[in-house]
Amino acid sequence: MKTVTIYTDGACSGNPGPGGWGAILEWNGIEKELSGGEPETTNNRMELTAVIRSLALLKEPCIVELYSDSKYVIDALEKGWVWGWKKRGWVKSDKKPALNVDLWEQLLPLIQTHQVHYHWVKGHASNEKNNRCDQLAVAESKRF
């Protein structure tokens, strides 16, 4: 099984407001940068979109090393919170509705296709790839 490393980040000006996402996929010494954005969104939506778009590009099941500075994304997946939300009809343990259900529903089948290992990285710090994803995301958000 191939091992693919993915770095992702999202950005939003205003939250909600114009936003962007960026990602870097690495496999076998090859890097591919991806980015996109929306005129009216939130930071968490852009963080999720970066992961969805990255995983959707993989043409076969892979071992994925996923790096993100989003505690929302990493904790929900790594700690299994999202599965609890889904089981309770997209209601969180505090009885409030889960947000971004449409994106979580896109992401969960992708997560199940691959063996994903989650890595949280501190944003705007020393991780060169995360910083590059941030640049891509911010540039996309400024297009709107």
User: Would you call 72 exposed, middle or buried from its count of C-beta atoms within 10 A (0-12, 13-18, 19+)?
Assistant: middle
The catalytic position among 31, 40, 105, 124 is: 124
Query: Is residue 114 flagged as an active site residue?
Result: no
Query: Is 124 in the active site?
Result: yes
Please confirm, yes or no, whether 94 is among the known catalytic residues.
Answer: no
CA distance 46 to 78: 19
Catalytic residue among 10, 19, 20, 22: 10
- For the question of residue 134 being annotated catalytic, the response is yes
The catalytic position among 37, 38, 47, 140 is 47
Name the CA radius of gyration of the chain, rounded: 15
Q: Of 19, 22, 37, 69, which is the active-site residue?
A: 69
Which one is catalytic: 19, 22, 134, 140?
134
How do strand 115-120 and strand 3-12 relate by DSSP bridges? unpaired
**Helices 43-56 and 101-113 meet at what angle, rounded to 10?**
30
Q: Cα dist. 37→54, 101, 141 in Å?
A: 14, 19, 6
Catalytic residue among 9, 20, 37, 38: 9
- Which residues 6+ apart lie within 8 Å of 125 measured at CB? 131
Task: Give catalytic residue positions.
Answer: 9-10, 47, 69, 124, 134
